[in-house]
Amino acid sequence: MTAMVAPLAYEFPVDAALKALKFKRRLYYAPAFGDFLCDAMRFLPGDIDALLPVPLHWGRTALRGFNQALEISQAVRRRYRLPLVTGVVRRRATSPQSGLSAAERRRNVRHAFAVRRGLTARHVLIVDDVITTGATTRQLGRSLLDNGVEKVSVLAVAKATQAGSAGLNV
Protein backbone atom coordinates (compact mmCIF):
# COMPACT_ATOMS: atom_id res chain seq x y z
CA MET A 1 0.00 0.00 0.00
CA THR A 2 1.22 3.44 -0.88
CA ALA A 3 -0.83 5.23 1.79
CA MET A 4 -3.66 4.50 4.19
CA VAL A 5 -5.73 7.30 5.73
CA ALA A 6 -8.70 7.18 8.09
CA PRO A 7 -9.65 10.60 9.50
CA LEU A 8 -11.85 9.35 12.36
CA ALA A 9 -11.56 6.86 15.20
CA TYR A 10 -14.07 4.02 15.24
CA GLU A 11 -15.62 4.94 18.57
CA PHE A 12 -18.80 6.68 19.67
CA PRO A 13 -20.48 8.50 17.95
CA VAL A 14 -18.76 7.49 14.67
CA ASP A 15 -19.25 3.74 15.24
CA ALA A 16 -22.95 4.21 15.95
CA ALA A 17 -23.44 6.32 12.83
CA LEU A 18 -21.57 3.85 10.59
CA LYS A 19 -23.61 0.95 11.98
CA ALA A 20 -26.82 2.91 11.39
CA LEU A 21 -25.73 3.58 7.81
CA LYS A 22 -24.86 -0.07 7.11
CA PHE A 23 -27.49 -1.97 9.03
CA LYS A 24 -30.42 0.44 9.38
CA ARG A 25 -30.27 2.08 5.95
CA ARG A 26 -29.57 5.54 7.37
CA LEU A 27 -28.16 6.71 4.05
CA TYR A 28 -28.24 10.34 5.14
CA TYR A 29 -24.94 9.68 6.95
CA ALA A 30 -23.14 8.90 3.68
CA PRO A 31 -22.70 12.51 2.43
CA ALA A 32 -21.36 13.65 5.81
CA PHE A 33 -18.84 10.81 5.87
CA GLY A 34 -18.01 11.61 2.26
CA ASP A 35 -17.11 15.16 3.29
CA PHE A 36 -14.65 13.78 5.88
CA LEU A 37 -13.11 11.65 3.13
CA CYS A 38 -12.81 14.65 0.81
CA ASP A 39 -11.00 16.61 3.52
CA ALA A 40 -8.64 13.66 4.14
CA MET A 41 -7.65 13.44 0.46
CA ARG A 42 -4.94 16.05 1.11
CA PHE A 43 -2.99 13.38 3.02
CA LEU A 44 -2.89 11.06 -0.01
CA PRO A 45 -0.62 11.15 -3.05
CA GLY A 46 -1.76 13.39 -5.88
CA ASP A 47 -1.44 10.80 -8.62
CA ILE A 48 -4.54 8.75 -7.74
CA ASP A 49 -6.42 8.16 -10.98
CA ALA A 50 -9.32 5.87 -10.02
CA LEU A 51 -11.57 4.97 -7.13
CA LEU A 52 -12.67 1.52 -5.96
CA PRO A 53 -15.24 1.24 -3.17
CA VAL A 54 -14.74 -2.15 -1.49
CA PRO A 55 -17.07 -4.50 -3.38
CA LEU A 56 -19.76 -6.40 -1.53
CA HIS A 57 -20.83 -9.85 -2.63
CA TRP A 58 -23.93 -9.59 -4.84
CA GLY A 59 -25.99 -11.44 -2.22
CA ARG A 60 -25.09 -8.98 0.54
CA THR A 61 -25.77 -6.05 -1.78
CA ALA A 62 -29.19 -7.49 -2.60
CA LEU A 63 -29.96 -8.06 1.08
CA ARG A 64 -28.73 -4.64 2.23
CA GLY A 65 -29.95 -2.78 -0.84
CA PHE A 66 -26.75 -0.75 -1.27
CA ASN A 67 -22.99 -0.81 -0.82
CA GLN A 68 -21.98 1.54 2.01
CA ALA A 69 -18.47 2.00 0.58
CA LEU A 70 -19.94 3.14 -2.73
CA GLU A 71 -22.30 5.54 -0.96
CA ILE A 72 -19.57 7.20 1.13
CA SER A 73 -17.21 7.41 -1.85
CA GLN A 74 -19.59 9.47 -4.02
CA ALA A 75 -18.44 12.84 -2.67
CA VAL A 76 -14.79 11.98 -3.39
CA ARG A 77 -15.70 10.72 -6.87
CA ARG A 78 -17.55 13.94 -7.71
CA ARG A 79 -15.17 16.45 -6.11
CA TYR A 80 -11.99 14.88 -7.50
CA ARG A 81 -13.56 13.68 -10.78
CA LEU A 82 -12.24 10.15 -10.29
CA PRO A 83 -13.65 7.31 -12.35
CA LEU A 84 -14.90 4.21 -10.58
CA VAL A 85 -13.01 1.00 -11.19
CA THR A 86 -15.41 -1.58 -12.57
CA GLY A 87 -14.99 -5.28 -13.08
CA VAL A 88 -13.65 -6.03 -9.60
CA VAL A 89 -15.99 -8.27 -7.62
CA ARG A 90 -16.22 -10.08 -4.34
CA ARG A 91 -16.46 -13.55 -5.83
CA ARG A 92 -17.59 -15.37 -2.73
CA ALA A 93 -19.84 -14.50 0.16
CA THR A 94 -17.53 -14.02 3.12
CA SER A 95 -18.66 -14.02 6.73
CA PRO A 96 -18.99 -10.59 8.33
CA GLN A 97 -15.58 -9.48 9.60
CA SER A 98 -16.94 -8.11 12.90
CA GLY A 99 -16.21 -10.44 15.78
CA LEU A 100 -13.36 -12.25 14.00
CA SER A 101 -9.75 -12.25 15.18
CA ALA A 102 -7.05 -10.80 12.93
CA ALA A 103 -6.05 -14.27 11.69
CA GLU A 104 -9.68 -15.20 11.05
CA ARG A 105 -10.21 -11.96 9.14
CA ARG A 106 -7.23 -12.71 6.89
CA ARG A 107 -8.51 -16.25 6.18
CA ASN A 108 -12.05 -14.96 5.64
CA VAL A 109 -11.08 -12.62 2.79
CA ARG A 110 -8.32 -14.74 1.23
CA HIS A 111 -9.10 -15.07 -2.50
CA ALA A 112 -12.39 -13.21 -1.97
CA PHE A 113 -11.85 -10.68 -4.77
CA ALA A 114 -11.52 -11.16 -8.51
CA VAL A 115 -10.68 -8.80 -11.33
CA ARG A 116 -13.07 -9.59 -14.17
CA ARG A 117 -11.73 -7.15 -16.79
CA GLY A 118 -8.52 -5.34 -17.57
CA LEU A 119 -7.55 -2.40 -15.41
CA THR A 120 -6.16 0.77 -16.93
CA ALA A 121 -5.69 2.79 -13.74
CA ARG A 122 -2.16 3.17 -12.41
CA HIS A 123 -2.96 4.31 -8.83
CA VAL A 124 -6.25 3.09 -7.37
CA LEU A 125 -7.80 4.48 -4.20
CA ILE A 126 -9.73 1.83 -2.27
CA VAL A 127 -12.55 3.33 -0.18
CA ASP A 128 -14.08 1.56 2.82
CA ASP A 129 -16.08 2.49 5.87
CA VAL A 130 -13.87 1.02 8.62
CA ILE A 131 -10.38 -0.39 8.82
CA THR A 132 -9.89 -2.79 11.70
CA THR A 133 -6.94 -5.04 10.86
CA GLY A 134 -6.66 -4.00 7.20
CA ALA A 135 -7.22 -7.58 5.99
CA THR A 136 -9.94 -6.65 3.50
CA THR A 137 -8.11 -3.73 1.92
CA ARG A 138 -4.81 -5.66 1.83
CA GLN A 139 -6.44 -8.58 -0.01
CA LEU A 140 -8.26 -6.27 -2.41
CA GLY A 141 -5.07 -4.28 -2.99
CA ARG A 142 -3.15 -7.48 -3.70
CA SER A 143 -5.73 -8.41 -6.34
CA LEU A 144 -5.30 -5.00 -7.99
CA LEU A 145 -1.51 -5.17 -7.96
CA ASP A 146 -1.58 -8.71 -9.37
CA ASN A 147 -3.64 -7.36 -12.27
CA GLY A 148 -1.44 -4.52 -13.40
CA VAL A 149 -2.21 -1.63 -11.06
CA GLU A 150 1.06 0.05 -10.03
CA LYS A 151 0.00 1.61 -6.72
CA VAL A 152 -2.86 1.24 -4.26
CA SER A 153 -3.88 3.61 -1.48
CA VAL A 154 -6.71 3.29 1.03
CA LEU A 155 -9.13 5.85 2.39
CA ALA A 156 -11.62 4.87 5.10
CA VAL A 157 -13.97 6.86 7.28
CA ALA A 158 -12.62 5.38 10.51
CA LYS A 159 -9.95 3.15 11.95
CA ALA A 160 -10.53 0.90 14.90
CA THR A 161 -8.43 2.16 17.76
CA GLN A 162 -6.16 0.29 20.11
CA ALA A 163 -5.31 1.54 23.59
CA GLY A 164 -7.38 4.66 23.00
CA SER A 165 -5.41 6.07 20.09
CA ALA A 166 -7.62 8.23 17.90
CA GLY A 167 -7.57 10.76 15.12
CA LEU A 168 -5.95 10.73 11.72
CA ASN A 169 -4.30 7.42 10.95
CA VAL A 170 -1.82 7.74 8.11
Dist CA 57 CA 164 (whole Å): 32
Rounded mean pLDDT, 69-95 = 92
Which of the following CATH numbers is that of domain 3-159: 2.60.40, 1.20.140, 3.30.300, 3.40.50? 3.40.50
pLDDT at 168: 46
Residue 90, strand partner residues? 113
Dist CA 75 CA 42 (whole Å): 14
Contact call for residues 136 and 105 (beta carbons, < 8 A): yes
Rounded mean pLDDT, 2-8 = 95
pLDDT of 100 strictly over 70: no
How distant, in Å, are the alpha carbons of 21, 76, 144 from that of 168?
21, 18, 25
The pTM of this model reads 0.88
pLDDT of 74 strictly over 80: yes
Domain parsing of the chain, residue ranges: 3-159
Residue 103, strand partner residues? none
Nearest CA to 25 out of 63, 74, 73, 77 is that of 63
**Residues of 98-110 as b/e, b for ≥16 C-beta within 10 angstroms?**
eebeeeebbebbe
